[in-house]
Every structure is written in structure tokens, then in C-alpha cells.
């Protein structure tokens, strides 16, 4: 944390009072939380910004779809629609947001993709339209205390661990660090390729200081796949101009640099809505460098829109798809989730 940001500490203190009071009112039952007959799994974090929630949600979809009838529920950040929606073949990225649309393109055959800012209202709507649903995975819902989740997966980014962070606006924490105690499991995401047992032990100790010594802690990383073409160009480029709208573009830039000669890296704000001028500038940069364009899967979905893809003209656009991957003991995590679902339905019976 920069020394220059210390003046924000008093504001963070006041913010902390507010979040503690809010959580206390939920804890004592003054503010109401709703629990549902079906299994609700929440994936979230304590920090603002990306910690890999969508890759984790996708991991759970792949893990559970063979056994359960699934739905996912997201806010649909920066979408241009309002209210509750379940994605269908006529739904576009502007209506549900980039990450839900990405999930729809990949997993629409094995899960329903829903968006709704008011989660406690959205869940009954999912069940009204699809009463056969057995498990709902709630993406980025850790602070949505109006829903009493049956299993909470808390993520913390390796490069910005919550024990080392501060409350907003001094740092990036949405609530105090003891909020980690509400989790059922904590996953350290975006770990480097080499992570020593000593470092794992040190990080686990930091987490246990706030979440308790019994909290299961896992470590994961991002698995990158070979580049795919959006514009039907089969030849893999050697030189690229990379661009991305992520909370942190560092890992993406590092991966691109490993696979290609990177002429330039352009970073946009997270969930950036690409304008005509943005696309023209990207194309001009790539042409001047004699390079192709490459981006993330999350950004790529926005270029599915005809108005945007037209602006690319004959410029090749590639993207890197990713998956969540446990460093080790992924089978242990899977069993914890499966056991939680079994307990839910045993109790309900």
C-alpha cells in the first residue's frame, strides 16, 4: 500500500464500521436472509476486482453438470438491460454482460445462465421458470447476505491476498477480513507455476489468522489454451498486439509474451465496452506493427456483435481461453462440494 494513500485510512475505518454493522444485523437475524429448498453455492471474494470468480464458476459447472440440473446466477455487470433474465439463443452480450454471455456460449447445453441484481428475487424466478433446477451457482455473491448460501467458496488473488489488503477506499476490501469466517472453503487463485510448500504454509497461516485454523485452503492457477481465431484465420500469428479489459492484465500479458512476439499491450478498464474508435485504433496499431490482434476470451465475446466484427475488416483476431486448475488436491475440493450437496438434500428429506 502506498504511503500516499494513508490519508484514506480514516475513510476505510468508517466504511469498516458500516460493513460490520451490516453483517452483524444479518448474523443476529435482524436483516433477513433467505434459504431455499435447493442447493445454492456462492463463489465470491472479499476484494473488489477480479479474483477468478468466473473461471471458478465454470469449473463447478463442468464438475457438477453430469449429476445435477444446474443454473448459474450473476449480476450481469455493466449489462444494458434491467431486472431478471435467463439467457436464450436471442440474447446478446449487451443484455446479460460479458462473463455470463461467455458462459452461455460455452455451457448453454448443460446449465441455464441467469442474471439478476437482486439475488433473493432472482432465485425464485429461476425456480418458477425451471422447477427442475437442483443446484444454483451464484457468481460473485459473497456479500449478498439476503441469500443464505449452502456452500461458500471464497477466492483470494495470490498477487493481492486479502490478509495483506485494506478496506475501501484505502485498499480493495469490500468488508473486513473476518468476513472470511463465513466461507466453507478458501482458494488462493492465479498462483505462479512454481509454488513452494513453504510459501503455501505461510499463506495458509495468514488466512487461518482471520478465517480460523479449521478452514480448508486450496491453491489454484490459470490454465491457458492455444489461441483460437474469431475471424476464421487458421494460421497462428507470430507477432501480436494484445489488448484486454481486465481488473489486472499482468498475467494475460505474461502469457502472450511467452507464446508470441508482443508488439504492444493495451490495457482497458475491467469489463470495457469497446467503442468504434477503440477498435479502429487497435486495428491501426496492429497494421502498423505488421501484427495480428489477440485478446482474452472475456473480451472476445463482445466482438461477436456484427457491428464490432465488421470494423475488424481483414484484421485477424485471436483469443486465449482459460480454465481454473488446482495446483493439487482438486479431488479433495470436489468431494467437499459433493458432500455439502448430499448433506443439503439429506436434511431437506
CATH of domain 3-68+134-223+326-348: 3.40.50
Give the pLDDT mean for 206-226. Answer: 97
Partner residues linked to 111 by β-bridges: 70
Q: Is the bond preceding residue 260 a cis peptide, omega within 30 degrees?
A: no
Cα-Cα-Cα-Cα torsion 142, 155, 180, 206, nearest 10 degrees, comes to: -170
Is pLDDT above 70 for 177? yes
User: Where does the chain hold its CATH 3.40.50 domain(s)?
Assistant: 3-68+134-223+326-348, 228-320
CATH of domain 228-320: 3.40.50
Task: Give dist(CA 97, CA 148) in Å, integer.
Answer: 25
pLDDT tier for residue 54 given thresholds of 50, 70 and 90 = very high
- Over residues 130-164, the pLDDT tens digits come to 999 999 999 999 999 999 999 999 999 999 999 99
Give the pLDDT mean for 185-194. Answer: 95
pLDDT tier for residue 284 given thresholds of 50, 70 and 90 = very high
pLDDT tier for residue 233 given thresholds of 50, 70 and 90 = confident
- Over residues 72-103, the pLDDT tens digits come to 999 998 899 999 999 999 999 999 999 999 99
Task: Give dist(CA 233, CA 247) in Å, integer.
Answer: 29
pLDDT tier for residue 2 given thresholds of 50, 70 and 90 = very low
What pLDDT is stored for residue 347 in this prediction?
A: 64
pLDDT tier for residue 4 given thresholds of 50, 70 and 90 = low
What pLDDT is stored for residue 313 in this prediction?
A: 76
The closest alpha carbon to 270, from 131, 97, 116, belongs to 97
Amino acid at each position: 500500500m502506498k504511503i500516499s494513500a494513508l490519508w484514506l485510512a480514516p475513510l476505510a475505518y468508517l466504511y469498516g464500521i458500516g460493513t460490520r454493522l451490516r453483517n452483524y444485523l444479518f448474523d443476529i437475524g435482524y436483516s433477513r436472509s433467505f434459504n431455499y429448498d435447493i442447493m445454492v453455492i456462492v463463489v465470491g471474494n472479499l476484494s473488489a476486482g477480479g479474483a477468478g470468480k468466473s473461471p471458478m464458476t465454470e469449473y463447478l459447472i463442468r464438475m457438477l453438470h453430469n449429476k445435477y440440473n444446474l443454473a448459474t446466477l450473476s449480476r450481469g455487470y455493466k449489462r444494458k438491460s434491467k431486472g431478471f433474465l435467463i439467457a436464450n439463443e436471442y440474447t446478446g452480450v449487451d443484455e446479460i454482460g460479458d462473463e455470463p454471455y461467455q458462459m452461455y456460449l460455452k455451457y448453454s447445453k448443460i446449465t441455464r445462465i441467469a442474471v439478476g441484481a437482486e439475488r433473493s428475487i432472482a432465485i425464485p424466478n429461476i425456480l418458477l421458470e425451471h422447477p427442475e433446477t437442483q443446484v444454483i451457482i451464484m457468481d460473485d455473491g459473497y456479500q449478498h447476505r439476503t441469500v443464505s448460501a449452502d456452500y461458500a467458496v471464497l477466492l483470494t488473488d495470490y498477487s493481492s491476498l486479502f490478509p495483506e489488503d485494506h478496506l475501501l477506499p484505502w485498499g480493495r476490501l469490500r468488508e473486513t477480513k473476518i468476513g472470511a469466517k463465513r466461507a466453507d472453503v478458501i482458494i488462493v487463485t492465479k498462483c505462479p507455476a512454481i509454488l513452494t510448500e513453504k510459501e503455501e504454509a505461510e499463506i495458509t497461516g495468514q488466512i487461518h489468522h482471520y478465517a480460523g485454523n479449521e478452514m480448508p485452503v486450496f491453491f489454484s492457477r490459470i490454465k491457458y489454451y492455444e489461441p483460437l481465431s474469431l475471424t476464421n484465420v487458421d494460421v497462428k500469428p507470430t507477432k501480436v498486439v494484445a489488448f484486454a479489459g481486465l481488473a489486472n492484465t499482468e498475467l494475460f500479458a505474461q502469457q502472450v509474451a511467452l507464446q508470441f512476439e508482443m508488439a504492444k499491450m493495451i490495457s482497458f478498464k475491467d469489463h470495457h465496452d469497446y467503442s468504434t474508435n477503440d477498435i479502429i485504433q487497435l486495428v491501426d496499431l496492429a497494421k502498423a506493427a505488421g501484427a495480428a490482434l489477440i485478446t482474452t476470451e472475456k473480451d472476445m465475446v463482445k466482438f461477436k456483435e456484427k457491428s464490432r466484427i465488421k470494423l475488424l475488416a481483414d484484421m485477424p483476431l485471436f483469443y486465449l481461453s482459460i480454465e481454473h486448475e488446482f495446483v493439487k488436491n482438486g479431488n479433495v475440493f470436489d468431494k467437499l462440494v459433493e458432500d455439502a450437496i448430499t448433506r443439503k438434500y439429506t436434511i431437506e428429506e
